């Protein structure tokens, strides 16, 4: 049976927060799958981090500071079923490093700090900076492509969520 666009949006509208939460949980566990284009990609989680839950006593948890990504409160938020809405991340490959904030609701990349090319020519410098931004977008896209089959398979997704919460997700999540 075909799914209408509205049904798909209702069912999978939370893909952004699910993606960012999955990414954070995988980074914390040290088992982020290798990308085909950048098998040596290193991903780190930093603060500020914003977690949200639809119910409970504390529906929003914000963790600040550069070391917030390694704080035990991250694991506590994940175990409580809170989903990551916004996080500062760093991506690093052999010769480049990016720092940025990912807004999971909109997939906006904010406060992006790009690798600084070491060239004297202003036009070449600008060209290399644009290429670096495009490279970052491709890396995020490729990570999302790894996540999507996991998220769209209910059995696989339940196992993934159990990995960081220790419990079965509620129906429809």
Q: What is the DSSP letter of 69?
A: G
% of the chain at pLDDT higher than 90: 72
- Sequence-ordered alpha helix ranges (H) in 30-98: 72-79
Which has the closest alpha carbon to 173: 33, 5, 17, 58? 17
pLDDT for the residue 57: 74
Q: What is the pTM of this model?
A: 0.87
pLDDT per position as a tens digit, 65-113: 889 999 999 999 999 989 999 999 999 999 899 999 999 998 999 999 9
Q: Tokens in use for 91?
A: 């991506």
pLDDT of residue 1: 46
d(CA 30, CA 24): 10
Q: How far is Cα 131 from Cα 120, in angstroms, rounded to an integer? A: 17
Rounded average pLDDT over 30-48:
94
Predicted pLDDT at 165: 87
Say whether pLDDT at 170 is over 60. no
């Amino acid at each position: 049976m075909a799914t209408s666009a509205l049904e798909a949006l209702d069912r999978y509208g939370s893909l952004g927060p699910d993606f960012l939460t999955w990414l954070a949980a995988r980074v914390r566990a040290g088992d982020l799958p290798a990308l085909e284009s950048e098998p040596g990609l290193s991903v780190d989680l930093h603060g500020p981090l914003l977690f949200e839950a639809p119910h409970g006593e504390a529906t929003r948890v914000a963790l600040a500071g550069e070391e917030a990504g390694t704080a035990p409160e991250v694991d506590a938020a994940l175990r409580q079923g809170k989903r990551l809405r916004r996080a500062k991340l760093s991506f690093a490959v052999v010769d480049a490093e990016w720092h940025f904030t990912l807004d999971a609701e909109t997939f906006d990349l904010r406060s992006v700090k790009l690798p600084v090319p070491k060239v004297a020519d202003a036009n070449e410098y600008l060209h290399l900076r644009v290429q670096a931004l495009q490279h970052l977008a491709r890396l995020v896209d490729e990570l999302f492509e790894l996540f999507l089959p996991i998220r769209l398979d209910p059995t696989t997704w339940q196992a993934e969520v159990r990995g960081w919460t220790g419990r079965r997700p509620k129906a429809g999540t």
